Amino acid sequence: MRKFNFYPGPSTIATSVLEKMRAEFIEFEDTGAAFFELSHRSGTVVDCQRRIVARLRQLMGVGDDYHVLLLHGGAIGQAAAIPMNLLRGKKQAAYAITGHWGRLAAGHAEAHCQVERCIDTSPECTSIPPADQWQVPADCAYVHFTDNETINGVEFQELPDLDGQLLVADQSSNILSRPWPTDKVALTYACLQKNIGPSGMAVVVVRKDLCGEQLPITPAIWNYAKQAKADSMANTPATIQLRMLELVLDWTAEAGGAEEFGRRNRAKADMLYDFIDASDFYANKVDPAVRSRMNIPFVLADASLDDQFVTQAEEAGLIGLRGHRAVGGMRASIYNAMPEQGVSQLISFMQDFAAGNG
């Protein structure tokens, strides 16, 4: 029996999507083979990839002046690829450090340019300063920010207003969780394994005019201009992820798209935050103005009960609640595929656990 899966990534996928994948696992349509056994040059796989790009354009509102790329490497791969593609002769880039993943991305960029940490909320990373407090060099190539930090549980509520600077957004953990102003961002990227599929790939939406001036050392698989020219097939794509991505995107569209999931995710998050805030047994340390709707960290009044909490939660059908080792405590990841019922059952368990251990 499936349990409610609160893992931060790889994470839960809608049961209806998994059932569709299971039904076609041995044979896809009338091909006589599984989808991932087919050549990536076959019409079946090429058509799937084209449908994915069209669906992403629809769901994210992507205009013709942007490439939509489906690439290997996940978000960490793209964190390394972005400076190689977007420096375009400039010597520095700005990075907003609001948690672990922003810090990691900045570290990758340091191999290629001077990195200006325009904000750094370490070590707590529980707030985000307003954009007018950021120290952004006027001549930097771009400004990178992590729209939602999965470990620390902070999320931008709106785009930072930085006077025409090129914005690069890591949306790995909140892509399609709410409407997104793609046309105001130079590059949006996201791994699959949190909101739109299994691990192993990344989606990159990048302005066409920014491609073509990559560093000479840029590998072909992360060269945005080459991948755009090759329809994201400069190398063999991860075909099983392609089919799963298509199924998740179809499910997302059928449910009402980013606008509907924005409503659902706000409601789920509010339920859990309201319960935590009213409790004297649990606490969330994040500034309420920037609390994540995707990843909700919380601590118990007595940290010695953490192991017991995790064990009993698993026995109650709630898995993946232990917090990241860097911060401890607990964390509930409630991505698009987490139903409201899962959050309700988590709250019920938390009530019972507090009553028995308070």
CA distances from 227 to 61, 81, 211, 290, 295 (A): 21, 12, 10, 35, 32
Q: What is d(CA 9, CA 263) in angstroms, rounded to the nearest whole number?
A: 22
Of the candidates 179, 141, 177, the one whose C-alpha atom is nearest the C-alpha of residue 159 is 179
**Interacting residues of 147 by C-beta distance below 8 A, sequence separation 6+:** 155, 156, 169, 170, 171, 174
The two tokens of residue 165 are: 């600077």
Point out the catalytic residue in the list 101, 134, 180, 222: 101
CA distances from 80 to 73, 74, 85, 285, 313 (A): 10, 10, 9, 31, 37
Which residue's entry shows tokens 């707030």? 127
Angle, CA 66 vertex, CA 139 and CA 202 arms, to 5°: 90
101 is catalytic: yes
Which residue's entry shows tokens 């952004």? 136
Point out the catalytic residue in the list 147, 180, 194, 268: 194
Angle, CA 282 vertex, CA 276 and CA 288 arms, to 5°: 45
134 is catalytic: no
170 is catalytic: yes
Point out the catalytic residue in the list 134, 170, 180, 268: 170
The DSSP line for 163-174 is TTPPEEEE-TTT
The catalytic residues are 101, 170, 194
